[in-house]
Structure 1
């Protein structure tokens, strides 16, 4: 909870997510100065006690914390350039908009020019989760700056996970989303194959979600235990994994089910065999990335705070 002085936090962008951030801040004892050019969004915000709205960023009051929830990196940069010169040195921008890590670096350089600070706080939640207070923030930035902003971060999330320097929170979100989106393609392909093969959807879901037999083990066992430690002896060899993958491709062809992601993955096992890794556990495909100059476990040895 904020103290009884009712500290004011600025929230720029009162869209679906930004408005819920503002409401959470009010719920946890802050007063909010919300800014949005859209009169309809301001009208929605005005329904809540504790939120004062502004159409023009130049009219916003001074604040130690400015939360950005905006539709594009260009708009975030414009706000930083607009507000930065007139804010005090204690001000921290909290970027919750989804931007790239390189955008955060550029924002950091702009903030340095104006004597203010910034952290990235990527939101891992939908609007309903934010509304329910279940959002998780993936945070990057200078530890002292994060600590300064921490009470505000805690006020609109249930957990704050610090990944490293500026941009690392956004990088983590981008990577997480990339995995989720790629898996969605794989799941749809697998579902189409299962349906065409006469397997009930519920039965297939039971198999895939089984903690010991399904999709968990490639992450929790093969990546977490093998790739991180470079332990590729024993286990299911790449030659056997490639054989099973080939059978899946053959099944899809026979069922006339178009597949893309599963087929693309086959080429990685082909390359691993050609590289002489046939007898190693199939997690040894990670060695290919080491050969290509990108250690497969790089960045995973540390534990987020």
Structure 2
């Protein structure tokens, strides 16, 4: 089994690191948040005083950071030098250009790199059922596969370095747009006198069927595991994260000149949602903002 450094032990990284421990790997971790350190320690992760110490001599270095700036700062701040020949796996969600730059830095030092953002949320991270969207060389993907298989169920090779991030941003743009569409449809149905139960029963078995409706339904009482049943309180895919991901998608839209008006509008709506209490609530809570703008109909 491998010696793995895992940096970023929060709501996603903590369970992912725990699954690596359960798979028999020697996992050394770091996170600046004491509570995250304690949870990871309880799950068998050896906590180190810094990321560079965790990475020193590691075979694999996995990062799960809030943004690309932190990733590049860590790479340029001694992390790569701590394990110059290691395989670096970044599972953060960052800009495509940042992922490519990270790969360049690692390869220049003699190491290997894949970008491997995830889909599946906290539940998938805990249960080890994540989907990994991987960008990198064939050989590097195969080297990363045993590590990824300990944390996820589906591994998709998307192309060269940066392609994993590209697919993740496109996927989450679809998710953001569809959640808004589902929420607007519920509010419209309510305004027309149709009950949530009736609309869900029809839409979930008809052409409106989608993940946002069937797994993360924004109205309570329809899907047992939906955050709507607990007032959109965490855990879940927080509005701040959706806003961040759509912001990255918007940047890619602008860079490529893509005519993506729905994606652009979704980024604007989630930016407004995350500017308030929505930042710390599930992204499905945007239905409440739609209700308020519609006159508050229930």
| TM-score, normalised via structure 1 length | 0.65
Structure of higher CA gyration radius? 1
Q: Please, which runs of 5 or more residues in structure 1 have no aligned partner?
A: 218-291, 297-305
Q: CA deviation at 1:129?
A: 2.1
2-structure distance, mates of 1:293, 1:62: 43
> What's the counterpart of residue 136 of structure 2?
141
Q: Deviations over 1:268-287 (max 9, x none)?
A: xxxxxxxxxxxxxxxxxxxx
Q: How does 1:112-123 map to 2 (within 5 A)?
A: 112-123=107-118
Q: CA deviation at 1:294?
A: 6.9
1:215 aligns with 2:204: no
> What's the counterpart of residue 85 of structure 1?
81
| TM-score, normalised via structure 2 length | 0.66
Q: CA deviation at 1:203?
A: 2.0
RMSD between superposed Cα atoms in Å: 2.2
Q: Deviations over 1:143-177 (max 9, x none)?
A: 11111111111111112111111111111111111
1-structure distance, mates of 2:30, 2:131: 23
> What's the counterpart of residue 161 of structure 1?
156
Which of 179, 186, 194 in structure 2 is aligned with 1:191? Answer: 186
Q: How does 1:4-43 map to 2 (within 5 A)?
A: 7-43=2-38
The answer as to whether partners of 2:4 and 2:27 remain within 8 angstroms in 1 is yes
Which of 34, 40, 48 in structure 1 is aligned with 2:43? Answer: 48
Q: How does 1:1-305 map to 2 (within 5 A)?
A: 2=1, 7-49=2-44, 51-60=45-54, 61-81=56-76, 82-89=78-85, 91-210=86-205, 213-215=206-208
> What's the counterpart of residue 236 of structure 1?
none
Q: Give secondary structure in 2 for the equivalent of 1:192.
A: helix
Q: CA deviation at 1:55?
A: 2.0
Q: Deviations over 1:32-73 (max 9, x none)?
A: 010122333222222233x21112223223112100011121
2-structure distance, mates of 1:87, 1:172: 28
CA gap 1:186/1:112 in 2 versus in 1, 3 angstroms: same
Q: CA deviation at 1:88?
A: 3.5
